[in-house]
Structure 1
Amino acid sequence: MSGVRAQQKQKTRQALIEAAFNQLSAEHSFSNISLREVAREAGIAPTSFYRHFKDMNELGLTMVDEAGLTLRQLMRQARRRIANGGSVINTSVQTFMEFIDTSSNQFRLLLRERSGTSKAFRAAVAREIKHFTLELAHYLESETPCNKNHAYMQAEAMVILVFNAGADALDQDSQQLSELTERLIWQLRYIARGAAHYGGH
C-alpha cells in the first residue's frame, strides 16, 4: 500500500509541476502564478499543495531543475543522432529549436529567472546552464582536437549564443524562425572553426 501511496504522491507532485508550467506564457511569468491557480489546475485542494512543496519558491526551483534536465536529455538524444551520421551543429540547433517549440514555457522560465530578482532562482538557472555547458565541453573535448580549456571556452560561447537566439526565437513566425536558425548555424560554425584554429596553440 505504501508503494501505491508513494506513486500517487509522485504523480500529484508532477501534476503540480506541469500545472505551473502551463500557467506560464509570454505575458505570465512565474512570479504572477498563484498557489491556488496551480492547485486548481492540478486537481487538488490548495492546502494539499504543502504535502508536496514547502512553498511556491521550492516549486519554482524544482521547475528550473526539470527544465534544465529536459534540455540536457534532448541534447543527449541529438548527440546519438549525430553518432549515426548527422551534422553536429545542424542537428544540435534543430534539436534546440524543437525544445523551444515543444517546451516553450520551460525555456521561458530558464530565460526569465536567469536574470530575475531572486538570487536562489538565478543561482539555480546558472547551475543548469553550467551543467549544459560542461556536457557540451566534454563532448567537444572527446570529438575534436580541442584541449579541455579550449573545449570549455568553445562550449561556453556556443551556449551563450544559442540561449540568446532562443530568446529571439520565442513567438516568431516560421519565416523569421527559419532565418534565425540559419544564422545561428553559421555563427556556431564560425566559433567551431576558430576553436579548431586555436585549439592546438
Structure 2
Amino acid sequence: MHLSRQEQKLKTRRAIIDAAFSLLDEQRSLSSISLREVARAAGIAPTSFYRHFKDIDELGLTLVDEAGLNLRQLMRQARLRIASGGGVINTSVDTFMEFICAHSNVFRLLLREHTGTSLAFRAAVLREIQHFIVELTDYTMATTGLPYRYANLQAEAMVKLVFSAGAEALDSSTEQQVVLAQRVKLQLRFIANGAKEAAGL
C-alpha cells in the first residue's frame, strides 16, 4: 500500500518527534541534542529534517506541546475512570504515576525545560501547566461547587504539588513511588479540605 505524499510527510514528522523523545533521558536535555542525532535516530537525512521543522528549537517547542497534550489526555481519561466510580484524588494520582513510569522521557522534558535556559521552552511549559490549572479549576467548580477564586487556587496548589512529586518519582524505586503516592494523596486532601473551609463550604 502506497502512502500519499501527505501521509508520508506526517509519518516522517512523527518519526522525528519519536526519535527526539527517545534521545532524552536523565543525562540529556533538549538543548544538548543535535539535529544530526535526531535525523540519524529517525532514519532520515539531516537535510530532510528542514522539510518538517525550521530548526531544532521548533522541534523542541513541538515536543513540549506534545508532552503537555499527552498528559492532559491522560488526566481526561482519569476523569472518565472517576466518573465510573473511582475516587478523584486516588484515581488522579495513580494515573499520573502510571504515566511517569510509562513515559519518563516525556515528563522529564516538561520538568527540565520548566527551569531550563531557553526562554521559549520555559514559556511553553508554563503554558502547558496553565492549561492543566484551567482544566482542573473548571472540573473542581463543576464537581464541588467551589467559587472560581478558591477552585483556581486549589487547582494551582494541586498541580504544583503533583508536578513536584513527579520529579521525585522519576528517580524512585517502585516501593518508594507507592509511599510517595500515598503521601501526595494525603497532601491533596489537605488542600481540598482547606479550600472548602476557606470558602465556607
CA contact (8 A) 1:145 1:199 kept: no
Q: How far has the Cα of 1:34 moved from its partner?
A: 1.0
For each residue in 1:1-20, what CA deviation from the matched residue of structure 2 results, as whole angstroms up to 9, or x when unmatched? xx811111011101100100
- What does residue range 52-91 of structure 1 map to in structure 2 within 5 Å? 52-91=52-91
Q: Give ranges in structure 1 of 5+ residues lacking alignment.
A: none
* Equivalent pairs, count: 199
For each residue in 1:37-56, what CA deviation from the matched residue of structure 2 results, as whole angstroms up to 9, or x when unmatched? 11111110011000000000
- What does residue range 1-201 of structure 1 map to in structure 2 within 5 Å? 4-200=4-200
Q: How far has the Cα of 1:145 moved from its partner?
A: 2.2
Q: Distance in 2 between matches of 1:4 and 1:75?
A: 34
SS in 2 for 1:164: helix
CA contact (8 A) 1:75 1:92 kept: yes
For each residue in 1:124-175, what CA deviation from the matched residue of structure 2 results, as whole angstroms up to 9, or x when unmatched? 0000000011001100000002101110000000000000000000021111
Q: How far has the Cα of 1:31 moved from its partner?
A: 1.3
Code of the aligned partner of 1:118 = S
CA contact (8 A) 1:114 1:122 kept: yes
SS in 1 for 2:146: coil
Code of the aligned partner of 1:140 = T
Q: Give ranges in structure 2 of 5+ residues lacking alignment.
A: none
Seen in structure 2, the aligned counterparts of structure 1 residues 78 and 96 have a Cα distance that, compared at 3 Å, is same
Q: How far has the Cα of 1:196 moved from its partner?
A: 1.4
Q: Distance in 1 between matches of 2:155 and 2:27?
A: 31
SS in 1 for 2:50: helix
Q: Percent identity?
A: 64
Aligned residues: CA RMSD: 1.0
